[in-house]
Structure 1
Amino acid sequence: MSGRPAKHSVTLKGHRTSVSLEDEFWQAFREMAFEKQRPINDLIAEIDVDRGDTMGLASAIRLYVLRNLQERLAGS
Protein backbone atom coordinates (compact mmCIF):
# COMPACT_ATOMS: atom_id res chain seq x y z
CA MET A 1 0.00 0.00 0.00
CA SER A 2 1.38 3.33 -1.05
CA GLY A 3 -0.57 5.78 1.12
CA ARG A 4 -1.29 7.79 -2.02
CA PRO A 5 -4.88 8.40 -3.11
CA ALA A 6 -6.08 6.20 -5.96
CA LYS A 7 -9.27 6.61 -7.96
CA HIS A 8 -12.05 4.12 -7.29
CA SER A 9 -15.13 3.97 -9.52
CA VAL A 10 -18.52 4.07 -7.84
CA THR A 11 -22.12 4.62 -8.91
CA LEU A 12 -23.87 7.56 -7.28
CA LYS A 13 -27.40 8.63 -8.17
CA GLY A 14 -27.26 6.34 -11.18
CA HIS A 15 -24.06 7.86 -12.58
CA ARG A 16 -20.52 6.51 -12.57
CA THR A 17 -18.03 8.71 -10.78
CA SER A 18 -14.68 8.26 -9.13
CA VAL A 19 -13.51 8.88 -5.59
CA SER A 20 -9.84 9.32 -4.74
CA LEU A 21 -9.00 7.48 -1.53
CA GLU A 22 -5.89 5.96 -0.07
CA ASP A 23 -5.89 2.15 -0.38
CA GLU A 24 -5.96 1.80 3.40
CA PHE A 25 -9.20 3.79 3.68
CA TRP A 26 -10.74 2.01 0.70
CA GLN A 27 -9.94 -1.41 2.16
CA ALA A 28 -11.36 -0.48 5.57
CA PHE A 29 -14.48 0.92 3.88
CA ARG A 30 -14.95 -2.28 1.84
CA GLU A 31 -14.62 -4.37 5.01
CA MET A 32 -17.25 -2.25 6.76
CA ALA A 33 -19.66 -2.65 3.84
CA PHE A 34 -19.09 -6.42 3.93
CA GLU A 35 -19.69 -6.61 7.69
CA LYS A 36 -22.87 -4.56 7.34
CA GLN A 37 -23.89 -6.75 4.39
CA ARG A 38 -24.46 -3.67 2.26
CA PRO A 39 -23.20 -2.81 -1.20
CA ILE A 40 -20.48 -0.17 -1.27
CA ASN A 41 -22.57 2.04 -3.53
CA ASP A 42 -25.42 2.03 -0.96
CA LEU A 43 -23.09 3.19 1.80
CA ILE A 44 -21.62 5.84 -0.46
CA ALA A 45 -25.11 7.11 -1.32
CA GLU A 46 -25.93 7.34 2.40
CA ILE A 47 -22.68 9.19 3.13
CA ASP A 48 -23.32 11.51 0.17
CA VAL A 49 -26.72 12.54 1.55
CA ASP A 50 -25.37 13.04 5.09
CA ARG A 51 -22.36 15.13 4.04
CA GLY A 52 -24.35 18.03 2.60
CA ASP A 53 -22.64 20.62 0.44
CA THR A 54 -19.78 21.57 2.75
CA MET A 55 -17.53 18.53 2.40
CA GLY A 56 -16.05 16.50 -0.42
CA LEU A 57 -17.17 12.90 -0.82
CA ALA A 58 -13.69 11.44 -0.27
CA SER A 59 -13.33 13.38 3.00
CA ALA A 60 -16.78 12.25 4.10
CA ILE A 61 -15.85 8.60 3.45
CA ARG A 62 -12.62 8.99 5.43
CA LEU A 63 -14.55 10.46 8.36
CA TYR A 64 -17.10 7.64 8.13
CA VAL A 65 -14.29 5.07 8.37
CA LEU A 66 -12.64 6.94 11.24
CA ARG A 67 -15.87 7.27 13.23
CA ASN A 68 -16.71 3.62 12.69
CA LEU A 69 -13.30 2.54 13.96
CA GLN A 70 -13.56 4.92 16.94
CA GLU A 71 -16.95 3.41 17.84
CA ARG A 72 -15.43 -0.09 17.70
CA LEU A 73 -12.59 0.94 20.01
CA ALA A 74 -14.97 2.61 22.47
CA GLY A 75 -17.05 -0.57 22.58
CA SER A 76 -14.05 -2.80 23.31
Structure 2
Amino acid sequence: MPGPEKHSLTLRGHRTSVTLEPEFWQAFAEIARAKQRPVNALASEIDAIRRPGEGLASAIRVYCLNHFRNTGA
Protein backbone atom coordinates (compact mmCIF):
# COMPACT_ATOMS: atom_id res chain seq x y z
CA MET A 1 0.00 0.00 0.00
CA PRO A 2 1.51 3.34 -1.03
CA GLY A 3 2.12 5.94 1.63
CA PRO A 4 0.85 9.52 1.78
CA GLU A 5 1.69 11.80 -1.14
CA LYS A 6 2.16 15.57 -1.27
CA HIS A 7 -0.28 17.54 -3.45
CA SER A 8 0.04 21.22 -4.35
CA LEU A 9 -2.98 23.48 -4.00
CA THR A 10 -3.72 27.17 -4.51
CA LEU A 11 -6.02 28.63 -1.85
CA ARG A 12 -7.21 32.18 -2.48
CA GLY A 13 -4.09 32.95 -4.51
CA HIS A 14 -1.61 31.31 -2.11
CA ARG A 15 0.27 28.10 -2.86
CA THR A 16 0.26 25.37 -0.24
CA SER A 17 0.48 21.61 -0.12
CA VAL A 18 -1.26 18.79 1.69
CA THR A 19 -0.04 15.30 2.30
CA LEU A 20 -2.79 12.72 1.87
CA GLU A 21 -3.05 9.01 1.34
CA PRO A 22 -3.89 8.21 -2.29
CA GLU A 23 -7.33 6.92 -1.28
CA PHE A 24 -8.23 10.21 0.40
CA TRP A 25 -6.91 12.26 -2.52
CA GLN A 26 -8.96 10.15 -4.96
CA ALA A 27 -12.07 10.52 -2.78
CA PHE A 28 -11.49 14.28 -2.53
CA ALA A 29 -11.11 14.61 -6.32
CA GLU A 30 -14.25 12.50 -6.81
CA ILE A 31 -16.24 14.78 -4.50
CA ALA A 32 -14.96 17.87 -6.36
CA ARG A 33 -16.03 16.35 -9.70
CA ALA A 34 -19.46 15.45 -8.32
CA LYS A 35 -19.90 19.02 -7.06
CA GLN A 36 -18.55 20.36 -10.37
CA ARG A 37 -15.87 22.38 -8.59
CA PRO A 38 -12.12 22.47 -9.10
CA VAL A 39 -10.14 20.74 -6.36
CA ASN A 40 -8.58 24.08 -5.39
CA ALA A 41 -12.01 25.69 -4.94
CA LEU A 42 -13.27 22.85 -2.74
CA ALA A 43 -10.03 22.94 -0.72
CA SER A 44 -10.52 26.71 -0.21
CA GLU A 45 -14.04 26.09 1.09
CA ILE A 46 -12.78 23.48 3.53
CA ASP A 47 -9.92 25.76 4.59
CA ALA A 48 -12.40 28.53 5.38
CA ILE A 49 -14.53 26.35 7.70
CA ARG A 50 -11.90 24.20 9.40
CA ARG A 51 -11.52 24.41 13.16
CA PRO A 52 -8.70 26.48 14.67
CA GLY A 53 -5.57 24.38 15.00
CA GLU A 54 -6.85 21.71 12.59
CA GLY A 55 -4.51 20.99 9.71
CA LEU A 56 -5.83 21.24 6.18
CA ALA A 57 -5.05 17.59 5.40
CA SER A 58 -7.01 16.48 8.47
CA ALA A 59 -9.90 18.76 7.54
CA ILE A 60 -9.98 17.25 4.03
CA ARG A 61 -10.01 13.71 5.46
CA VAL A 62 -12.90 14.55 7.79
CA TYR A 63 -14.75 16.28 4.95
CA CYS A 64 -14.40 13.17 2.77
CA LEU A 65 -15.54 10.89 5.60
CA ASN A 66 -18.58 13.05 6.34
CA HIS A 67 -19.45 13.35 2.65
CA PHE A 68 -19.57 9.60 2.15
CA ARG A 69 -21.35 9.02 5.44
CA ASN A 70 -24.03 11.54 4.49
CA THR A 71 -24.47 10.35 0.90
CA GLY A 72 -24.43 6.66 1.72
CA ALA A 73 -21.92 6.09 -1.08
Structure with bigger gyration radius: 1
2: CA distance, partners of 1:24 / 1:17: 20
Letter in 2 for 1:72: T
1:13 — aligned with what?
12
2:62 corresponds to 1:63:
yes
Structure 2 residue ranges without an equivalent (≥5): none
2: CA distance, partners of 1:35 / 1:13: 22
RMSD over aligned Cα, in angstroms? Answer: 1.3
Letter in 2 for 1:14: G
2:53 — aligned with what?
54
2:38 corresponds to 1:39:
yes
Structure 1 residue ranges without an equivalent (≥5): none
1:22 — aligned with what?
21
Question: What stretches of structure 1 move > 3 A for 4+ residues in a row?
Answer: none
